[in-house]
Amino acid sequence: MADSATGRPAPAAPEAVVQLIVFCLGDEDYGIRIEQVKEVTITPEVVRMPKTPPFIKGIANLRGDIIAIVDLEERFQLRPAGRPVPELSYTLAVEAPDYTLGLMVREVPRPVTIPVSLIEPAPEFVQDSGQREKYLEGIAKLPDGQGIIIVLNMPKLLTPSEIMRLPGNTAVAAGKAPKISAPTPDAPADARKP
């Protein structure tokens, strides 16, 4: 379309982009939209809780908030045989409408900005048929053969029964979802802070 004042072609609208916080599970890269990440920090001391699924490592006090710590490698059975959980790991405090929890990852998460058009819907066969809703938002194909990022849909990561079993989530059990302020775009910078 031409600009009516100058007769020149109108500049193309900027392509929509999405910011992801990317981390490694197993040997693959996974990402979560940055607006779903409240904070990235070194994993605080975790207190084991009884009668919780193995992928819930326990609870931790994160700046005054008691949150459940989830090991996503164990949740998705992605940890290679013989690879132990590292002594030093990182936790992403992520929030969904009904809960907040910590996702434990082994390496420092990094921010990545990509065009939304690079994210394609995840094929049905890679979704967990045991999940009521699909927890994969899509697959991001990075340009120039830089690999792929599996994009998780955080609000659908846990099943309703798993949400209700989260230790320390008394607000959900009482039917009161916690309200937390929106994260800031520079939240990942906290990853380097102790």
Each residue of 118-127: pLDDT tens digit? 999 877 665 5
Pair type for strands 99-105 and 65-71: parallel
User: Residue 184 — pLDDT band, cuts 50, 70, 90?
Assistant: very low
Would you call 3 helix, strand, or coil by DSSP? coil
Is 182's pLDDT higher than 50? no
pLDDT at 147 over 50: yes
C-alpha gyration radius of the chain: 19
Q: Which amino acid is at 61?
A: N
Q: Please report the pLDDT score of residue 3 as a whole number.
A: 60
Question: In this predicted structure, what is the pLDDT of residue 174?
Answer: 44
Q: Which two tokens stand for residue 79?
A: 């940890």
Torsion, CA 184, CA 188, CA 191, CA 194, rounded to 10: -10
Give the count of alpha carbons within 13 A of 168, CB side only: 22
Lowest mean pLDDT among 15-19, 25-29, 51-55, 161-165: 161-165
pLDDT bucket at 153, cuts 50 / 70 / 90:
confident
pTM for this predicted structure: 0.73
Q: Would you state the pLDDT for residue 20? A: 96
The CA–CA distances, whole Å, from 92 to 10, 48, 126, 127, 183 equal: 42, 18, 24, 23, 12
The mean pLDDT of the chain is 78
pLDDT tens digits, 68-121 = 999 989 888 888 777 777 788 999 999 877 778 899 998 899 999 999 999 998
* Whether pLDDT at 28 is above 70: yes
For the chain, the residue count is 194
